[in-house]
Amino acid sequence: MNKPETLTQTDVAGPAPRHRTTKVMVGNVAVGGGAPIVVQSMTNTDTADVESTVAQVAALARAGSEVVRITVDRDEAAAAVPHIREQLDKRGITTPLIGDFHYIGHKLLTEHPACAEALAKYRINPGNVGFKDKRDTQFSTIIELANKYGKPVRIGANWGSLDQELLSKLMDENAASANPRDARAVMREAMVQSALHSAERAQELGMPKDRIILSAKVSAVQDLIAVYQDLAARSDYAIHLGLTEAGMGSKGIVASSAALGILLQQGIGDTIRISLTPEPGGDRTLEVQVAQELLQTMGFRTFVPLVAACPGCGRTTSTTFQELARSIQDFIRLEMPTWKTKYPGVEALNVAVMGCIVNGPGESKHANIGISLPGTGEAPAAPVFVDGKKFRTLRGPTIADDFKALVIDYIDQRYGNGAKAPESVTAAE
């Protein structure tokens, strides 16, 4: 029997080199070609409702979405697009807008030139861009308009609206072959071919490769991984990653993170969207937060200071530490849009909020600033550590506010104007 290979640190220490792709400019945002992986999101407002759509795009942009997609499904929506762009510009929000077109994109872009101009990219679904004889004409019209306005396109195949003619053809060929594959493998092949054939057709129509982004979204994690691995192996188009219909709450977050995490680790993906179903009345910006946290926890980018917190256990029966961890995390997210310009580099800050003495001091020493709260039966004192050294001990009912004030002090002294070296941040206790 062969001896199993031993995993070394270097075997697991980092992601594979990024898959080489062609850089595409979406407005002023670079996608692919080695550019940082871009976070994007999509509104769920009626695009014809200018006010609501502007408000949601602004919220998504403020949360960190670097491009935002909006539905353009009818004349009223197309007519609203230039006004949305104008309102955003007036507010100083330059985030590029992507138009999401299905079925009648060719017609809307032709009849609403201001919409075609205002958008920074058009998303086309090759599965529903027209049927039979009309397919090529309608697809060609969108590509010609994209060429006319100098806009890139995303050719986005989707499991739920897969090109049925192509699928039937591949199914027939598979049935007639000597070694037929299972139906799911044929569907995956149809997804990849649908995206690649459409991209080739776009290039035949004069669209340069540096204006084409591809996606092939499915809703099952293993299928998604297989489809994107294939897409990356067979082309060097810039790649938009996303698990479609990911679902609600933890299910959607886990499924998206599992699928996208594996692909990103393999170097695949130039822009990501986490397609979460919001809770009724829930916050749409959660999908941006999850996308950022996925990229940051995997070490690809830094967006916002991270708060490390222990899970809590029977050693800490009060809710103080959960409340403090939540309050610090929310506070950081809220302040981050201002801090980004006021405190350059603050996004790399690490804060620890720990529940008791077992791991509290150790974990807090690894953070830039950390607090070890008293567990059940421990003396009511909370040591604070700054850059690995004991700094102060907080006591009494104002521990949470006092710690927040220390975090602000630390940020101001380390990242503010005239920042001091970390070791000189206010004398230790």
Binding footprint of ligand SF4 on the chain (CB under 6 A)? 310-313, 315-316, 354-356, 358-360, 375
Q: Where are the beta strands (DSSP E) in 270-424?
A: 271-272, 276-277, 306-309, 350-354, 369-372, 381-386, 389-395
Question: Which is nearer to ligand SF4, 235 or 316 (by Cβ)?
Answer: 316
Question: Which is nearer to ligand SF4, 59 or 358 (by Cβ)?
Answer: 358
Question: Which is nearer to ligand SF4, 187 or 308 (by Cβ)?
Answer: 308
Question: DSSP string of 263-274?
Answer: HHHTT--SEE--
State in angstroms the smallest separation of the CB of 377 from ligand SF4. Answer: 12
For tokens 């070394």, name the residue.
8
Question: Which is nearer to ligand SF4, 143 or 356 (by Cβ)?
Answer: 356
State in angstroms the smallest separation of the CB of 316 from ligand SF4. Answer: 4
Residues in a beta bridge with 214: 155, 239
* Residue 337: C-alpha distances to residues 2, 61, 316, 329, 379 (Å): 55, 10, 34, 14, 38
* Residue 10: C-alpha distances to residues 14, 15, 76, 340 (Å): 8, 11, 55, 34
Question: Which is nearer to ligand SF4, 99 or 375 (by Cβ)?
Answer: 375
State in angstroms the smallest separation of the CB of 305 from ligand SF4. Answer: 20
User: Residue 90 burial by CB count (10 A; 0-12/13-18/19+): exposed, middle or buried?
Assistant: exposed
For tokens 């919409």, name the residue.
115
Question: Which is nearer to ligand SF4, 155 or 325 (by Cβ)?
Answer: 325
CA distance 364 to 253: 27
State in angstroms the smallest separation of the CB of 14 from ligand SF4. Answer: 28
State in angstroms the smallest separation of the CB of 325 from ligand SF4. Answer: 11
Inter-residue contact 44 to 266 (CB < 8 Å): no
Sign of CA dihedral 352, 358, 361, 366: negative
State in angstroms the smallest separation of the CB of 352 from ligand SF4. Answer: 10
Amino acid residing at 90? K
State in angstroms the smallest separation of the CB of 360 from ligand SF4. Answer: 5
For tokens 């490390």, name the residue.
308
Question: Which is nearer to ligand SF4, 94 or 318 (by Cβ)?
Answer: 318
Amino acid residing at 258? A
For residue 156, which phi and psi values (nearest 5 degrees)?
-115, 95
Question: Which is nearer to ligand SF4, 64 or 375 (by Cβ)?
Answer: 375
Inter-residue contact 263 to 229 (CB < 8 Å): yes
What's the start-to-end Cα distance of the chain, in Å? 60
Question: Which is nearer to ligand SF4, 349 or 356 (by Cβ)?
Answer: 356
State in angstroms the smallest separation of the CB of 312 from ligand SF4. Answer: 5
Show the DSSP H helices in 65-163 as ranges.
75-90, 105-111, 113-118, 133-149
State in angstroms the smallest separation of the CB of 194 from ligand SF4. Answer: 49
